[in-house]
Amino acid sequence: MAPRHWLIKSEPRVYSFDDLLNAPSRTTPWDGVRNYQVRNLMRDEMTPGDGMLFYHSSTHKPSVVGVAVVASAAYPDPTQFDPASPSFDLKASQDTPRWFAVDVRAVRRLDRPVTLEAMRGEPLLSGMALLRRGNRLSVMPVTPVEFETVLALAGEA
C-alpha cells in the first residue's frame, strides 16, 4: 500500500519539534494518546515510513513547523501500565492493552512554518481535516496533495 500521510499536533510547551530534533536518534515514542479514533489510526493505519506534518497547537501562531516520519509499527503504549504516569489506565492490562503508540522520527524543520491562517487561505487545503470546525483530534490523516501543498507553502519545492 502507498505510504500515507498524517498531521500530528503537539503543544510546543509540552513537546516541541525542537525537542524531537534533539531526542536520541531524533526519535520519540508518540505515547499518551487517549482518544479511540486516534488509537485506531495509529494501530491500524500507520505504517513505518509514512510522512507526518508536525503541528504546534495552543500557541501564539499555530503552525506546521516540521516534517517527521512514522518510525515503528504500533505497539502497546507502556504508559498505560505505569501507575506513576498521568496516562495510566486502570482498565488496561498487559494481555488486553487499550492504547497504542508509534515511534516518530524528525526529518527536517520547515524553512518557513506554515501557519493555520496560511492554510485556511489556501484553496487546495479547503478539505483538510485540521481546518474542519470543531476538530480536536491530535492525529489526523492528510492527503498527498495536502501534504505537498503544505510543503509548497513552506517554500519547499
Instruction: Please choose, out of 21-29, 56-64, 121-129, 142-150, the segment that lies near DNA by the rule CB under 7 A.
Output: 56-64
- The reply on whether position 136 binds DNA by CB under 7 A is yes
10, 57 contact by CB (below 8 A)? yes
102, 39 contact by CB (below 8 A)? no
- The reply on whether position 116 binds DNA by CB under 7 A is yes
Minimum gap (Å) between residue 57 Cβ and DNA: 4
- The reply on whether position 62 binds DNA by CB under 7 A is yes
Minimum gap (Å) between residue 14 Cβ and DNA: 9
| Residue 23 in grid coordinates | 531526542
56, 12 contact by CB (below 8 A)? yes
Instruction: Please choose, out of 34-42, 45-53, 64-72, 104-112, the segment that lies near DNA by the rule CB under 7 A.
Output: 34-42
CA 53 from centre of chain: 7
State how far the Cα of 83 lies from the Cα of 21, in Å rounded to an integer: 29
**Phi, psi (degrees; rounded to nearest 5) at 34:** -130, 50
Number of residues that bind DNA (CB under 7 A): 17
- The reply on whether position 13 binds DNA by CB under 7 A is no
| Residue 18 in grid coordinates | 525542537
Strands 51-56 and 5-10: parallel
Instruction: Please choose, out of 31-39, 69-77, 102-110, 146-154, the segment that lies near DNA by the rule CB under 7 A.
Output: 31-39
Residues in contact with DNA by CB under 7 A are 9, 11, 35-37, 57-59, 62, 116-117, 133-138
